[in-house]
């Protein structure tokens, strides 16, 4: 198992920042002025898409009240992507901090489905 990426000086220093700038290609499934959604390169299920904000937020617990519209938008995009991928059931996951499994320190929503998902997840 790979070690989590260390918190960057800014989200621009992460692999997701490089993807947003077009420096690293991705398998894009959705994009708008607020976010980008693309297939995870190490999928944990038949469908595993990441939804990332264009605005630099390191982790969920660093978001403030001013981010409420963006956070809601990310979840609406997650549902849209799930429908687009033909999922009738899916899981959304936001890891916040290395202890929770966050490996890239740029806020992201996992959209996972296409197989039965066990509970509890961890």
| CB-based contact 111:82 (threshold 8 Å) | yes
Phi, psi of 89 (to 5 degrees): -145, 145
What domains can you pick out in the chain, each with its CATH number? 11-113 (3.30.428.10)
Q: What is the pLDDT of residues 65-110, one digit of tens each?
A: 999 999 999 999 999 999 999 999 999 999 999 999 999 999 999 9
Choice between 7 and 107, residue whose per-residue pLDDT is larger: 107
Q: What DSSP character marks residue 12?
A: G
pLDDT at 121: 79
Confidence band, pLDDT 50/70/90 cuts, at residue 5: very low
Which entry of 48, 106, 108, 110 is annotated as an active-site residue? 108
pLDDT of residue 13: 85
Taking only the tens place, the pLDDT of each residue in 12-37 is: 689 999 999 999 999 999 999 999 99
Whether 108 is catalytic is yes
Confidence at 2, pLDDT banded by 50, 70, 90: very low
Find the radius of gyration of the CA atoms of the chain: 14
For 18, list phi and psi in degrees, rounded to 5. Answer: -70, -35
Report pLDDT for 122.
62
Task: Report yes or no on whether pTM surpasses 0.85.
Answer: yes
DSSP state letters, 41-104? SS-SSSEEEEEEESS----GGG--GGGHHHHHHHHHHHHHHHHHTT-SSEEEE---SGGGT--S
Element (H, E) at 38: strand 35-39
């Amino acid at each position: 198992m790979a070690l989590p990426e260390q918190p960057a000086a800014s989200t621009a220093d992460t692999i997701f920042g490089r993807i947003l700038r077009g420096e690293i290609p991705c398998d894009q499934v959705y994009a708008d002025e607020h976010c980008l959604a693309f297939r995870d390169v190490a999928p944990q299920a038949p469908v595993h898409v990441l939804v990332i904000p264009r605005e630099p937020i390191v982790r969920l617990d660093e978001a403030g009240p001013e981010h409420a519209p963006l956070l809601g938008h990310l979840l609406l995009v997650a549902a849209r992507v799930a429908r687009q991928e033909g999922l009738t059931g899916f899981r959304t996951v936001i890891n916040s901090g290395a202890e929770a499994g966050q490996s890239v320190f740029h806020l992201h929503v996992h959209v996972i489905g296409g197989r039965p998902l066990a509970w509890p997840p961890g």
